[in-house]
Structure 1
Amino acid sequence: MPTNPATVPRAVAHLRWPVEPAQGGWYTEAEHKAVRRVLAESDDWRTGWKPATTTGVFEDAFAASTGTAHAVTFNSGGTALEMVLRYLQLMPGDEVISCAINFVGPHLAVIGQGGSLVLAEPDPLTLNLDVVDTERALTARTRAILITHWNGAAADLRPFLTLAERHPHPVHGPPRVIVDAARCCGGRTPSGRMVGAEGWATVFSFESKKLMTTFGQGGMVTTDDQTLADRLRTLRTYGGRDQWGTNQMMTKAQAAVGLVQLARLDEMNAARIDRAHRRTQRLARVAELALPPTWHDRQHLYYRHNLFVPASWAGDGRDKLMNVLAEQYGVGSVVSDPVTYLGHRLIRHRTTGQRCPRAEHLAARLLCPCLHPRMTPGDEAAICDAIRRATEHVARAHGTTA
């Protein structure tokens, strides 16, 4: 069984570069100006902080940017996904398929909304959900396929949409294709469409580390389904007059900042892509490391710059590399993401008997050294040099090369 990824890197107190950036993008005077404007207008007791107008403008702009009919704001991406799943009214035994390599949030959302989580293997190159293994996992009880654009690599959704049409649920019809785009905002899918335009519903997160952020939290759902959009708006505002709901609204200040961040998203993503491609070029001669695929036209936004150590290093060797980077060079790195059932007790309990060997092996080889588009060229050169040197150190210790 792979090492618990929470144990690496062990030396983090004196890191020069953190295990991951605390903020994914960055703010400019335009964001500060937007906040000052909202503060000034909301300080009047006649006006207050009611967000309806500002969030509506943000929703319209986001829908236009993704090419969808509807965009619905939430206070976080996690609550947004929960409400999309709640719309399905999952009953005991209703299944939702998702990739085993994932952030725990989507899997907890499925469990929390009453669904049976069915895990499938990742594609070995992108670590997005594998369509062949998804077809293996499909049953007459499948209600949804939950696809994550993992670490900024946009998945091709077309095979999953076709798959869903070929395997309809006996009562509810084709399984819904739900997309987690928390790490791929502003990207394009292989079909050439904007992320958010394909699938039944796409969920975005504006949490602090994401590609754009609205004061550290916030979320959005895009959809062409009018009924879903209407229901989501009711769910986030106490259910109207006759249904269950709660308060999950985005604030006026978040929406105002979101409008500015959205206008700057292409700029921030372009800087991130450029930095990731340069890192890939710098590390191309490190034979022991498998580098992320290089795609253009915003198909890969490099939320993380994923590195894979040789298969013979899986687990202990990967951990050794992360610790050498931290202890000797001050470079933080993170395993993004481990297999969820190995690191989370509830998910393990709810998926008893399920195993994804490919996912376990790939996750045991994975590390993601810190990357941010505003790192200086000197920082980037030092980090890449540290990765080369640390890899050489571990290779000598193992007596192996790739």
Structure 2
Amino acid sequence: MLEVSPRTIPIARPDLGEEEAAAARRVILSGWITQGPEVATFEDEFAAYVGTTHACAVANCTAALHLALHALGVGLGDEVITVSHSFIATTNAIRYCGAVPVFVDIDPRTYNIDPGLIERAITSRTRAILPVHQVGLPCDILPILEVAARHNLPVVEDAACAIGSELRVQQKWERVGKPHSLVACFSFHPRKLLTTGDGGMLTTLDPELDRKFRVLRQHGMSISDTTRHLATTVVFEEYSMLGFNYRMTDIQAAVGRVQLKRLPALLMRRSKLASHYTERIKGISGLIPPHVPAGVRTNYQSYAVQVTDQYATSRDQLMRKLLEQGISTRRGIMNAHQEAAHTDLAHSDLTCSQVARDSVILLPLFAEMTLEEVDRVVDALIP
């Protein structure tokens, strides 16, 4: 009898189905497929979900980060304090503005920015602070906001991975994106819990900042496509500022609206899978499961495990072993300062960032994954 090999377990898989397909089809057949009424409705529903007053949809999270910094006036020669330990888009967005990323190190347990290192990095050229909610785990935002307030600096949250994550503020659970800073930026890439194929969102409580985002995302045009389409008289747009083509399509937004309705179930499923991982991994010597501090709830966008010197092999050898068994993994989060595009940037001691990049392994985690597949991954981790 032919032996059937077990299927390859991918690092991630978007959870999309017939309802998303029907939503996209509906919009395609409507004749309005670019930024329009679906985008506007998606923005309203997203704002209500995270608990803010304004949400502005854009092409991707890199565009969102760039727009946020640009709208705040970050420009040539300015400095923005952030982490190197993040997807390269965080650093790229700063450099798109002509500004200089100033890297500080991370907390080695959470892989998020260490708030205690921020104040000493502030100079007369600092214009903003850009913390990251890494792999969906909310960073320690409240002390960051306290430092920013003392120095009258805006904070922009890179919440690319953090849709559905929560933190406790004054004994009340609040979602990332409320936002707790001036602006929060989200990603809808396929590796994220909520996907539109690609896409992004900026949330804010500031109506003037939201208005500026909306003008900038559409070439600096003075009126929206929807307004022009519904006008009963001839109207001519004006372009009073240099803008960008950072729009989301209505096809994407229609998919996003379905995904947003399904998000609570996706969060519950990922939490169940992650709990199963943790329960089994904590018994394996040399492996450290994710640390989730009191006062935050992660969405487990990725499941990050640290491989210590006590483990039987190196992290990279473990990754090769898993791949040979049909299990996909990824290395720990990259560091921008170790990539050729940004090696020209000066930086302080980033030891914890470098250790995390080289010792952390991201294990498969996606909503359709089964507990049996989690067991298969963990069994392969046992030396």
TM-score, normalised by the number of residues in structure 2: 0.88
Amino acid at match of 1:362: A
Give CA deviations for 1:91-136 in whole Å, capped at 9, x if unaligned.
Answer: 3331111112111001011011111110011112111110001122
Q: Which residue of 1 aligns with 2:215?
A: 234
Report deviation, 1:386. 0.4
Which residue among 371, 376, 382 is the counterpart of 1:382? 376
- Ranges in structure 2 where 5+ consecutive residues have no aligned partner: 1-5, 222-237
Q: State how far apart, in whole Å, the 2-side matches of 1:181 and 1:54 are.
A: 23
Q: Is the 8 A contact 1:72 1:222 kept in 2?
A: yes
Q: 1:326 to 1:269 in 2, by over 3 A?
A: same
Amino acid at match of 2:195: T
Q: 1:296 to 1:206 in 2, by over 3 A?
A: farther
Report deviation, 1:312. 6.5
Report deviation, 1:239. 0.4
Q: Which residue of 1 aligns with 2:226?
A: none
> Is 1:335 aligned with 2:331?
yes
Q: Which residue of 2 aligns with 1:142?
A: 126
Q: State how far apart, in whole Å, the 2-side matches of 1:381 and 1:309 are.
A: 18
Q: State how far apart, in whole Å, the 1-side matches of 2:128 and 2:60 are.
A: 21
Q: State how far apart, in whole Å, the 2-side matches of 1:358 and 1:87 are.
A: 32
Q: Which moved more, 1:364-373 or 1:178-187?
A: 364-373
Which residue among 169, 174, 184 is the counterpart of 1:202? 184
Q: Which residue of 1 aligns with 2:255?
A: 257
Report deviation, 1:32. 2.0
Q: Is the 8 A contact 1:94 1:115 kept in 2?
A: yes
Q: What CA RMSD, in Å, does the superposition of the two structures yield over aligned residues? A: 2.0
Report deviation, 1:292. 0.5
Q: Which residue of 2 aligns with 1:49?
A: 33
Which residue among 12, 16, 23 is the counterpart of 1:21? 12
The residue correspondences of 1:1-400 to structure 2 (distance < 5 A) are: 16-18=8-10, 20-23=11-14, 26-42=15-31, 48-167=32-151, 174-191=152-169, 192-197=173-178, 198-214=180-196, 216-240=197-221, 241=238, 242-294=240-292, 299-311=297-309, 317-327=314-324, 329-342=325-338, 344-349=339-344, 351-388=345-382, 392=383
Q: Is the 8 A contact 2:84 2:353 kept in 1?
A: yes
Q: 1:298 to 1:124 in 2, by over 3 A?
A: closer
Report deviation, 1:295. 6.4
Q: State how far apart, in whole Å, the 2-side matches of 1:125 and 1:186 are.
A: 21
Q: State how far apart, in whole Å, the 2-side matches of 1:320 and 1:69 are.
A: 48
Q: 1:177 to 1:294 in 2, by over 3 A?
A: closer
Give CA deviations for 1:47-71 in whole Å, capped at 9, x if unaligned.
Answer: x335321111111111111111100
Q: 1:236 to 1:289 in 2, by over 3 A?
A: same
Q: 1:233 to 1:199 in 2, by over 3 A?
A: same
Q: State how far apart, in whole Å, the 1-side matches of 2:134 and 2:37 are.
A: 33
Task: Report SS of the residue matched to 1:238.
Answer: coil
Report deviation, 1:182. 1.1
Amino acid at match of 2:18: E
Report deviation, 1:298. 7.0
Report deviation, 1:259. 0.9
Q: Where has structure 1 moved over 6 Å in runs of 4 or more?
A: 295-298
Q: State how far apart, in whole Å, the 2-side matches of 1:63 and 1:40 are.
A: 27
Q: State how far apart, in whole Å, the 1-side matches of 2:294 and 2:146 are.
A: 25
Q: Is the 8 A contact 1:292 1:306 kept in 2?
A: yes
Q: Which residue of 2 aligns with 1:400?
A: none
Q: 1:38 to 1:92 in 2, by over 3 A?
A: closer
Q: State how far apart, in whole Å, the 1-side matches of 2:217 and 2:310 are.
A: 49
- Ranges in structure 1 where 5+ consecutive residues have no aligned partner: 1-13, 43-47, 168-173, 393-402
Report deviation, 1:22. 4.3
Task: Report SS of the residue matched to 2:362.
Answer: strand
Q: 1:311 to 1:140 in 2, by over 3 A?
A: farther
Report deviation, 1:293. 2.1
Task: Report SS of the residue matched to 2:215.
Answer: helix
Q: State how far apart, in whole Å, the 2-side matches of 1:249 and 1:160 are.
A: 31
TM-score, normalised by the number of residues in structure 1: 0.84
Q: State how far apart, in whole Å, the 1-side matches of 2:33 and 2:376 are.
A: 46
